[in-house]
A = this chain, B = another copy of it.
Amino acid sequence: MTAAVVALSGGIGGAKLALGLARVLDQGQLTVIVNTGDDFSHLGLAISPDLDTLVYTLAGLAHPEQGWGRRDETWTFMSALEQLGGETWFRLGDADLAMHVERTRRLAAGETLSELTDRLRRKLGIATRILPMSDDPVRTRLETDTGWLDFQDYFVRLRCAPRVRQLAYLGADTARPHPEVLTALGSRDLRAVVICPSNPFLSIEPILAIPAIRAVLAECRAPVIAVSPVIGGQAVRGPTAKIMRELELEPGAEAVTRRYADLLDVFVVDETDAATIMPAGIEVVSAPILMTSLEDRERLARVVLAAADRVAARQN
């Protein structure tokens, strides 16, 4: 098999599986389409948290535990900024800052987000193509019991405390996906589309909210496989389960999948969720989906690819 694989990803959980896929596939076979709904401007800097998590993870630079930022980070900038009375609620490490400063500079010089992301991932020796879902801004906002909030206000400053009533992806309606996003998803050589175990509301739906992406996925010839971001009703990390309860959804694997049901061929759930009943036409595969070690990431990547290949074999 030399055909391409496309993954849709948010930050931490998605990046883990993307790393597994990158390691079990041949070099250059993987393209990751990344959520930019979390992007924001802070301290005059253009910050793209999910793109950075992907880049750091695939370059081997990611912090091993915290789920964002870089390993071997220092915090001198943040201390000095605090001393000057600056805004410190969003933590920017000294090395991480280089990414934001360089991105901001390149955007100001007229490069697109996709161009500069491609340049930076190559510079860091990453063979996987990393594509922002769009070069047009899409901004995730949340209506909460304290009113509408920008994503980072909700997620970082308020630590996901406000109760969520609904979500909106501003700009998604009119955002144009990067041409390579459509080429990759529409390719005849596509082996699989993998929806990574990222937060469905905050990471995957912003991508699917771009009409052209959802349309090309709905017509995609290749198997579409989602990996559940919840295990036994709990998110591995982050506020997925909390948001599901607040939206009056059962915080389990099934409710998650329903959101993508029209797109899916296979849903990979944890062994503990194996009894999940899915809409007709969606195959449920159960496997250990908690990714702690590097081996876990590779193993889950192989499970996903094997499921895709079984579906493809049946369809041919």
Contacts and interface: CB of A to CB of B under 8 A. Distances in A.
A218 interface: no
A215 interface: no
A86 B102 contact: yes
B108 A80 contact: no
Contacts of A159: none
Contacts of A44: 44, 101, 104-105, 108
5 interchain residue pairs of minimum CB distance: A80-B98, A76-B94, A80-B95, A81-B98, A94-B94
A190 interface: no
24 contacts: A44-B108, A45-B101, A70-B80, A73-B76, A74-B74, A74-B76, A76-B94, A77-B97, A77-B101, A78-B98, A80-B94, A80-B98, A81-B98, A83-B124, A84-B98, A84-B99, A84-B120, A84-B123, A84-B124, A85-B119, A85-B123, A86-B101, A94-B94, A94-B97
Contacts of A70: 80
B98 A83 contact: yes
Q: How many copies does the complex hold?
A: 2
A79 to B, nearest CB: 7
A43 B105 contact: yes
Contact of A98 (B77, B96, B104): B77
A1 to B, nearest CB: 33
Contacts of A81: 98, 101-102
Nearest to A59: B83
A79 B101 CA distance: 13
A246 to B, nearest CB: 34
Interface in A166-220: none
Contacts of A108: 44
A43 B102 CA distance: 7
A52 to B, nearest CB: 11
Given A101-B44, A102-B84, A94 B123 contact: no
Contacts of A104: 44
Interface in A99-126: 99, 101-102, 104-105, 108, 119-120, 123-124
Given A45-B101, A76-B95, 13 more contacts: A44-B101, A44-B105, A44-B108, A76-B94, A77-B97, A78-B98, A80-B97, A84-B123, A84-B124, A85-B123, A86-B105, A94-B97, A97-B97
A77 to B, nearest CB: 5
Contacts of A94: 74, 76-77, 80, 94, 97
Contacts of A83: 98, 123-124
Contact of A79 (B43, B85, B95, B99): B95
A98 B123 contact: no
Nearest to A119: B85
Contacts of A124: 83-84
Of A79, A94, A120, chain B has the most CB atoms within 10 Å of the CB of A94
A314 B79 CA distance: 51
